[in-house]
Amino acid sequence: MTSHSSLTSGLLSTVLKISTNFLPQYPQINLPVQEDSIKQRPIRIPRPEHTLSRRHISQSALTVLYQLRHAGYQAFLVGGGVRDVLLGRIPKDFDVVTNALPEEIKKLFRSCRLIGRRFLLAHVRLNKDIVEVATFRAHHDKGGDGVMEEGRILRDNVYGTIDEDAWRRDFTINALYYDISDFSLLDYANGMADLRAGIIRVIGNPQRRYEEDPVRMLRAVRFAAKLGFTIAPTTATPIQQLGGLLANIPPARLLEEVQKLFLSGYAVQAFIQLREYNLFKQLFPYTDECLEDAQTLALIKQVLHNTDERLKDNKPVAPAFLLAALLWPPLSRSLPAQAAGKNTYSTEMLLKASQSLLVKQHKRVAIPRRIVVLMQEIWSLQQRLVRPVRGKRYLNLLEHPRFRASYDFLLLRAQAGEEEAKPFAQWWTQFINSDEQQRQALLSQYPATGSKQPRRRRSNKKKIIIKVEIESE
């Protein structure tokens, strides 16, 4: 794939003001796309009849396409970049496919690096862009470096032709190929019809395709949320029964999917779809157990809405903050009821509870160590933000590198209807926006914590070190 840094956003905004009304009219196919309906002779849509122009493609991707073609290889754009341009969207990247083998691609481009074991890819670096190039895939029964176990693809390095590659694509709308040789589009699976109708449809037998790679279920939900499309009934039906297959996916890979689902600007819709198809509980089972509580559901929806709004305003978002919010309900529920309700739990109590939760959660979605540390700091500061502030100790809090994130987290809890958090969120908001004289007056008006905490003696004991067995990055 290649980033779009080489094209100015102004130019792209101008050339991509296209409507799906301009997509060519093709007969609507209401039946599922089965294996035998992948056309060996695809519909070829000439350049005058579609809206994808070279103006929409990054210079780096064009360079790779032309260099492959001049070297005697076939070269096409395929996937999300083609789909998004046809929908009038600005693509995040473009994927290139070719009949050149990975080693041949590496010889052709000096700045090429081969990556991946399960799915071998070539990354070609041109200026600041990285163009991702894949070799046409084929069926595993052709031999080669393909490994399957109980119907699931473990390694997918069996190479073939473009006709075979079309079958290996997951959804019809992602199986449209842009041919750089004549600027036409190749449609193998009625993808243009589904693109116009707004339908997410699996290529082939849905159950078999999900069993090959269960992540396809998450991708179906992600594309539906991102594009505002409807998942075809034949594609949707097996998801409810097969969601448990995600337990066989490496937790690190599921983290990548979680970030795509919740950190791309459509988190609220993704959450709704995940719950509809019983997939959210496969990713965050301990949070899912808490969703019958209205306050918990409100907190999750609020943090997802806030994340979408920040991305809409081109503001940064922090995965640690989002994950801290997603796991806060089961964490707070695991604390002793009386302590949690009055915000009187100790730091040690909180850290031990977080350790237990993170170890269990890691079996589903692997959270990197650097993110775990930030999450635990946000959680531990919640306790300090509801403790009476004496003397100049408030300065230490204000200067803490995680104070702002922790304060925002306290506001989030209050917005979600957590009554215990509301007076403290209001107090800290006033305190932050006050001058020094006003702050001194506010120190005497700090909200009650519900019960007095005994003053702890200093001890020479070392700080508790939370050892969460997670993979290092």
Contact 36, 81 (CB under 8 A): no
Q: What would the two tokens of residue 131 be?
A: 């163009």
CA nearest to 405, candidates 308, 340, 316, 339: 316
Alpha-carbon distance 176 to 220, whole Å?
17
Alpha-carbon distance 327 to 208, whole Å?
33
The active-site residue out of 156, 170, 194, 213 is: 170
The Cβ of residue 194 has, within 10 Å, a number of other Cβ atoms equal to 24
Q: Indicate the residue type of 361.
A: Q
**Is 84 a residue of the active site?**
no
The active-site residue out of 84, 95, 165, 308 is: 95
267: three-class secondary structure by DSSP: helix
322: three-class secondary structure by DSSP: helix
SS (HEC) of 392-428: CHHHHHHCCCCHHHHHHHHHHHHHCCCCCCHHHHHHH
The active-site residue out of 84, 93, 179, 187 is: 93
Q: What would the two tokens of residue 20 be?
A: 């799906």
Alpha-carbon distance 372 to 469, whole Å?
11
Contact 105, 98 (CB under 8 A): yes
Alpha-carbon distance 33 to 89, whole Å?
25
**Is 435 a residue of the active site?**
no
- Beta strands 129-135 and 95-98, pairing class: parallel
Alpha-carbon distance 410 to 390, whole Å?
20
Contact 421, 414 (CB under 8 A): yes
**Is 170 a residue of the active site?**
yes
Contact 127, 60 (CB under 8 A): yes
Burial of 59 per CB tally in 10 Å (0-12, 13-18, 19+): middle
Catalytic residue positions, numbered: 93, 95, 170
